[in-house]
Structure 1
Amino acid sequence: MISVARTEQLIDPAAEMPPSVAARHACRNGLDATTAGLANGYVQGNLAILPEKFATAFHRFCQLNPKPCPIIGMSEVGDPRIPALGIDLDIRTDVPRYRVWRDGEVIDEPTDVLAHWRDDLVTFVIGCSYSFEEALLEDGLPIRHVERNLRVPMFRTNIACNAAGPFAGPLVVSMRPFKPADAIRAVQVTSRFPSVHGAPVHLGHPHAIGITDINKPDYGDAVPVEADEIPVFWACGVTPQAVIAAAKVPFAITHAPGQMLVTDLKNKQLAVL
């Protein structure tokens, strides 16, 4: 996997294109890294790509679970483009790494899904917490996985999502450690971004939401929680992957956790004053 520190080798700073477009082009050209901190200022999204026969039920699932699954974009059937999120955007190539699912199991993790694409697929782009991280950093709040060029740690919880059709399963959360005073400020800052998960769903005591070991995330990379810090948990857009696994959907495509779609939307467009 290419580190964030090396992305400059794949993104031409002299190219006359917005950072979001340059990031997508880098993905097409082999960027394989966490997208945390990439194309600052631009909205990133989680992917859930499903056959049309499951799209209505999944859409309903997202409506019933807006914290982990805030939809920011949706494609037409079979169309790999979503012009509202990016004029040149191609869902099949513009994510660093994907997951291809059959019957609830990951069968491939390619860097593009051209070979897996079908004419009956519908793409859902779901808001990502990377959008509110920009606001946290601007407020002077440190984010450990960004500092260390790691993927954010993510955990399956014992909190059940609201079911819709075949889709049901556990809420997945992302974790960032903060000192208590900073945690309070983080709640205030992220509350302004309801379309990208909003305020945290839990603070402290990981075992209270079914997390047995904070050092062993189910997705992403572990980061240390210091003695004077508490873990703060946000609803996470990887939740659909846990639900797809539980539902054993015959076929689906998602992003690899931590490796998102960069859109042309601006984070500031999502803020609620």
Structure 2
Amino acid sequence: MTTPFEVRGKMRSGEFTLPTSGLCEDYIQANLVILPKNLAFDFLLFCQRNPKSCPVIDVTDVGSYVPHLSAPNADLRTDLPKYRVYKNGEVVDEPTDIKEYWTDDMVGFLIGCSFTFEEALIKNGIPMRHNEEGVNVPMYKTSIEAMPAGKFSGPTVVSMRPMKEKDVIRAVQVTSRFPSVHGAPIHIGNPQSIGITNINQPDFGDAVTINEGEVPVFWACGVTPQAIAMHMKPALMITHAPGHMFITDLKSEHVSVI
């Protein structure tokens, strides 16, 4: 599974249903949000007002499940390893395809994912603990309120990667080059300062080991819309399952800033 097309084929057939961190290292990974047309403009405005957590990579035409700008031969109904279906703010299903839920008035949004810059961190000598431990990256709801837009409001979600203190400045420098996939961290250090009361109990994903001498580093996360769904309770919102991303045909270098 070396190319995005091959990986998406494995997902489409149901052969691959795992988190996607570390896959197709040179390509942009993306969060998915699917909404009915009557909520699409408000959500696009929400993304525009919250570019750290919701940097838009692609938006489909109404009724189309093809992301023409980022993967023109893909199908957003089938080409992710696992989805989440929210109804009135509650998760009602985690299918491996969403054909039964798709309707002709839906709009798909692809939002940049921090998995995209992980390879750059690794190349700079900063290991990814969740990959080392074979788990999903930990993600947390915070006390940082997103900027409201229309019907959309609620808390910002962050992903966390622990690292040695000496590596933090380099991590900021490296990830600042990728503003289209969340960019630089939004918080470093004490999790309680952003409303996280127990670092060992993430709201999404899995806990990872934080060794002595390491600090937690937090990036804005594209799972934010799922926290928003829990808060505003739309009749229907379809997303990726946290950590189970859409892999585009776009090279990571296309979104990096020299």
Matched, 1:223 2:201: no
Q: Provide the residue aligned with 2:3 in structure 1.
A: 19
Matched, 1:144 2:138: no
Matched, 1:183 2:183: no
Percent identity, please: 53
Code of the residue aligned with 2:85 in structure 1: it is: V
SS of the residue corresponding to residue 231 of structure 1 reads strand
Q: Provide the residue aligned with 1:248 in structure 2.
A: 233
How far apart are 1:139 and its partner, in Å? Answer: 1.2
Matched, 1:135 2:94: no
Q: Give the ranges of 4+ consecutive aligned residues of structure 1 lying more than 4 Å apart after TM superposition.
A: none
Q: Provide the residue aligned with 2:48 in structure 1.
A: 63
The count of residues paired between Structure 1 and Structure 2 equals 257
**Partner deviation per Cα, 1:36-66 (whole Å, 9 max, x = no partner):** 0011111100011000000000000000000
Q: Provide the residue aligned with 2:36 in structure 1.
A: 51
Q: Provide the residue aligned with 1:161 in structure 2.
A: 146
Equivalent residue in structure 2 for 1:257, among 242, 245, 251? 242
Q: Provide the residue aligned with 1:7 in structure 2.
A: none
Query: What TM-score comes out, normalization by structure 2 length?
Result: 0.98
Using the alignment, how far apart are the partners of 2:58 and 2:119 within structure 1? 21
Matched, 1:29 2:29: no
Using the alignment, how far apart are the partners of 2:224 and 2:241 within structure 1? 12
Equivalent residue in structure 2 for 1:206, among 191, 205, 208? 191
Using the alignment, how far apart are the partners of 2:185 and 2:51 within structure 1? 13
Q: Provide the residue aligned with 1:86 in structure 2.
A: 71
How far apart are 1:265 and its partner, in Å? Answer: 0.4
Equivalent residue in structure 2 for 1:122, among 98, 101, 107? 107
How far apart are 1:138 and its partner, in Å? Answer: 1.3
Code of the residue aligned with 2:250 in structure 1: it is: L
5+ residue gaps, structure 2: none
Code of the residue aligned with 1:24 in structure 2: it is: R
Query: RMSD of the alignment, in Å?
Result: 0.8
How far apart are 1:104 and its partner, in Å? Answer: 1.0
5+ residue gaps, structure 1: 1-10, 12-17
Q: Provide the residue aligned with 2:224 in structure 1.
A: 239
**Partner deviation per Cα, 1:164-191 (whole Å, 9 max, x = no partner):** 1110000000000011111111001000
**Partner deviation per Cα, 1:59-103 (whole Å, 9 max, x = no partner):** 000000000000000000010001211121000000000011111
